[in-house]
Amino acid sequence: MSKKKQTLYETYGKRSVDIIGSAAALIAFSPILVATAVMVRRKHGKPILFTHERPGKDGKIFKVYKFRTMTDARDAEGKLLPDGDRLTDFGKQLRRTSLDELPELFNVLKGDMSLVGPRPLEVYFLPYYTEEENHRHDVKPGLTGLAQISGRNALSWEQKFQYDLDYIRHITFLGDLKILLDTVKTVLGRKDVVEEGGAVLVDFNEERARKWQEEGRSQSHEVH
């Protein structure tokens, strides 16, 4: 897959939709944002927001904003406890309902992200993409995307990336609108969410490294 030429919508319309849509959503969801922030402060302490580096368009690193879902609980030596021990019941609920991702609307307003696009993944995944999969960084990452309405975390990594690439090949206003509307339906219906105690989602880098080992390939042959 070669880097495709942008359409008029991608060049001029998509950013306008992002600004108007994210600003309107921040106003509409402001009571939920405030209420969630208060609860996060009570349950998890300060800071309310969690920031983490993610690769954006053309691989440029930016900081994504989310509500904290874990505490800063530490052991006797002052080291942070494992993630599973710090994730609270309230934090699990935030993740199930996707409320923890609402602050990403600020990323959209800033221009780091788009309302619709491939979801931004961990920076340490970068060396494990194939050349074709790396094209998911040809566009801005999204608050939601085609993969999220097509199976969410019930999909395999390869399926997620294929949906991302399919989206990049056919970006349209009506397509983005449909994805946004379907996202609302998916989140409200909690469709295709893997619950705690269900299927284990393996980190992409671990899964890809295991497959390469089974196929007798080395990581150095796949880094792009």
Determine how many CB atoms are found less than 10 A away from the CB of residue 203. Answer: 14
Residue-wise pLDDT for 181-192, tens only, equals 999 888 877 655
The pLDDT, as a whole number, for residue 198 is: 35
Structural domain count of the chain = 1
Q: Which residues contact 53 (CB under 8 A, 6 or more apart)?
A: 61, 62, 63, 64, 123
Over residues 157-184, the mean pLDDT reads 94
Q: Which domain holds residue 82?
A: 8-221
Domain membership flag for residue 82: yes
Domain membership flag for residue 1: no
Over residues 111-137, the mean pLDDT reads 94
Domain membership flag for residue 33: yes
Domain membership flag for residue 158: yes
Asked if 212 contacts 127 with a C-beta cutoff of 8 angstroms, the reply is no
pLDDT surpassing 90 at residue 145: yes
Over residues 14-39, the mean pLDDT reads 97
Domain membership flag for residue 39: yes
Domain membership flag for residue 128: yes
Phi, psi torsion values for 4, nearest 5 degrees: -85, 160
Domain membership flag for residue 3: no
**Strands annotated E in 23-157:** 49-55, 61-67, 114-116, 142-144
Phi, psi torsion values for 139, nearest 5 degrees: -125, 170
Residues facing 114 on adjacent strands: 142
Over residues 148-162, the mean pLDDT reads 85
pLDDT surpassing 50 at residue 57: yes
The pLDDT, as a whole number, for residue 5 is: 75
Domain membership flag for residue 70: yes
Whole-angstrom distance, CA of residue 46 vs CA of residue 203:
28
Whether residue 118 is preceded by a cis peptide bond, meaning omega within 30 degrees of 0, is no
- Between these two residues, 99 and 5, which has the higher pLDDT value? 99
Residue-wise pLDDT for 75-106, tens only, equals 888 888 888 889 999 999 999 888 999 999 99
